[in-house]
Structure 1
């Protein structure tokens, strides 16, 4: 069992309190319910709540499983509870900070009956901001994930692609290979009510099929009830563009990568040209990922450099385009900050981005690329491989 070091947990809590003191000087209490944020601060995911007071020690109250929490976590204060009644707080402040993006209304009501505070404020953005700067411990896990990503997508997938294989069968085999290589087995997203097993595994126009997913590409999926994984009916044939956009992860920390392949035949010249233009855009963005750079300015600079013809179906297809070029990544694949309008705080060393310039092409699918980069003084350090994609499968 790889436990999150006690020093790491203490550092995270200390940085969070410092952030709250600076941005919300009157704060008195934060209560955390989401399992991802629980894991970030305590090193374990349980059914419980983490109470962080401005003054005094944070306490993790656990309903289920207290025994597992004690076994897994090096957090100092873990207490059992049967209900919120057991965890009553003596000096409750008027205002409590909660994760308003993820706490259901019913849970809020149950909690507030035992903790009768008067006001609630959101702490979501504050936690996301603190989490956006990765420690060396976190970066080491992401580098491990990136190695898995690069090896599987650049070295192993070309051996798996066979004429007649379906998207669903490829996804199943790909998941098995990823697990054998050390992938932690899930692809976690913060977007509300988003399910994702592995990612998008697509042949041809499947990659530009409409989807609720907030990304450039799409996926036929198994059915309307499960618009994920891949189609059983869409089978690989000569001339197909193969598009694979999947998450990898180690001990909770993700990387994101998209790779394309030309099966048995070269794509038309205009598609190849569009693809390598996307690769060039990725490399330009990577050079800008330095401490002090402003995400919105990176976005505007890149978008302003592209001509109208290329911008048609850039970052999507038809009316289904997204308004970003990359996103933060860590315990979730879709973290802050984002390379988009509205993100005006300067980048800091240790932030990590998935950069994904892509372009949909009618009759062919989604070309382009995605890799994961660490912000450094020399620019983005790619941790997911260096193959430019459109890998020929003969």
Structure 2
């Protein structure tokens, strides 16, 4: 069993405390409930809570499974609780104000917790943890590099070989998922966006990749049904002349990469579609060159967008009225992490932040062209860890 090293957990807690001391100098205690953040700080994803006092050791209180926690976690202080009442008996001197994950804690959980821990006020903890998680350690980067190699191999080398006329979008998505699992993918694509469900990503043939969804991304697809608008359609079959759009996540031991590849099946696309795709690749490369410590995400976004003419901007980063207002996003334990290459993200980039950069453009009756790869911020610019292909791979 692979365990997150104890020194890794210690460094994460140290960086979190340092960040809180600077950003919230009045803080006295933070409580973590969400499984993603629990995993980040403890190395296991169990049902419990992590209490982090400012001037004392943090305690991981576990409801289920305490036994598994002991097997998986090298966190120093782990206690069992049957309910919050058990933890409350040992946790005294609770301050009036508690820092909580307001984006993740539902009201019912909040009320149950406050019944036994009667604090008066709460403040948000989400951006503080997100800022710490945004800068990856060598350990985290090593896992993301492994994920990137799987991504590259499956989408650049294997996908063209398994495309067959008459297969459905769902067939292709399921086959890609199986292959990635066999190559080491951890099997889940996690998002922080509220109530978002996804299996592996978006797989679309032709105009399907333009179909509107609630998903906060440039592309879409028909999905399996209105009750499950995910994966791909069972009914949309691959035919000659189709543009194939694949935007899927991959991950190793919790850490994700994001990648989009496109393919021309049976024949070439019209030249105007190829030109639009190539422009998206140029934009990706330009953004990658700006992914250096000290550069400002909002300025990167403005620089790129101001350089595009009105004709290209039509259906850029979406289609019709459904367009997104970003060019890339942080990535790590979640696909959609902070910061974002968009307006109002004004904090300078730091070395070893990781971004998925995804310029895309919808083209009527053809589908979504463009590209996406995952980059590490370095002093030399973004280091791509998900492959080198420019997409529109011909499969004739």
TM-score between the two structures when normalised by the length of structure 1: 1.00
In structure 1, the partner of 2:36 is 36
CA RMSD of aligned residues (A): 0.4
Q: Distance in 1 between matches of 2:363 and 2:23?
A: 45
Q: Deviations over 1:251-298 (max 9, x none)?
A: 000000000000010000000000000000000000000000000000
> Gaps (5+ residues) in structure 2?
none
Q: Distance in 2 between matches of 1:128 and 1:68?
A: 26
Q: Distance in 2 between matches of 1:174 and 1:18?
A: 42
In structure 2, the partner of 1:106 is 108
In structure 2, the partner of 1:53 is 53
Q: Is 1:243–2:214 an aligned residue pair?
A: no
Q: Distance in 2 between matches of 1:90 and 1:51?
A: 12
Q: Distance in 1 between matches of 2:67 and 2:183?
A: 30
Q: How far is the alpha carbon of 1:34 from its aligned partner?
A: 0.1
Q: Distance in 2 between matches of 1:229 and 1:177?
A: 15
Q: Is 1:92–2:94 an aligned residue pair?
A: yes
Q: Distance in 2 between matches of 1:55 and 1:197?
A: 42
Please show how residues 1-394 of structure 1 align to structure 2 within 5 Å. 1-88=1-88, 89-394=91-396
What's the secondary structure of 2:202's corresponding residue? strand
Q: How far is the alpha carbon of 1:190 from its aligned partner?
A: 0.1
Q: Deviations over 1:40-66 (max 9, x none)?
A: 000001110000000110000000000
Q: Deviations over 1:100-128 (max 9, x none)?
A: 00100000000000000000000000000
What's the secondary structure of 2:389's corresponding residue? coil
Q: Distance in 1 between matches of 2:21 and 2:245?
A: 46
Q: Distance in 2 between matches of 1:74 and 1:291?
A: 32
Q: Distance in 1 between matches of 2:284 and 2:345?
A: 19
Q: How far is the alpha carbon of 1:25 from its aligned partner?
A: 0.9
Q: How far is the alpha carbon of 1:359 from its aligned partner?
A: 0.1
Q: Distance in 1 between matches of 2:101 and 2:92?
A: 22
Q: Distance in 2 between matches of 1:330 and 1:93?
A: 32
Q: How far is the alpha carbon of 1:32 from its aligned partner?
A: 0.3
Q: Distance in 1 between matches of 2:229 and 2:236?
A: 14
Q: Distance in 2 between matches of 1:290 and 1:197?
A: 32
Q: Distance in 1 between matches of 2:172 and 2:186?
A: 19
Q: How far is the alpha carbon of 1:2 from its aligned partner?
A: 1.1
What's the secondary structure of 1:157's corresponding residue? helix
Q: Distance in 2 between matches of 1:286 and 1:229?
A: 29
Q: Distance in 2 between matches of 1:376 and 1:126?
A: 23
Q: Deviations over 1:297-341 (max 9, x none)?
A: 000000000000000000000111100000000000000000000
Q: Distance in 2 between matches of 1:173 and 1:214?
A: 25
What's the secondary structure of 2:352's corresponding residue? coil
Q: Distance in 2 between matches of 1:339 and 1:208?
A: 22
Q: Distance in 2 between matches of 1:255 and 1:34?
A: 21
Q: Distance in 2 between matches of 1:14 and 1:27?
A: 15
Q: Distance in 1 between matches of 2:352 and 2:277?
A: 29
What's the secondary structure of 1:287's corresponding residue? helix
Runs of 4+ in 1 over 3 A off after TM superposition: none
Q: How far is the alpha carbon of 1:23 from its aligned partner?
A: 1.0
> Gaps (5+ residues) in structure 1?
none
TM-score between the two structures when normalised by the length of structure 2: 0.99
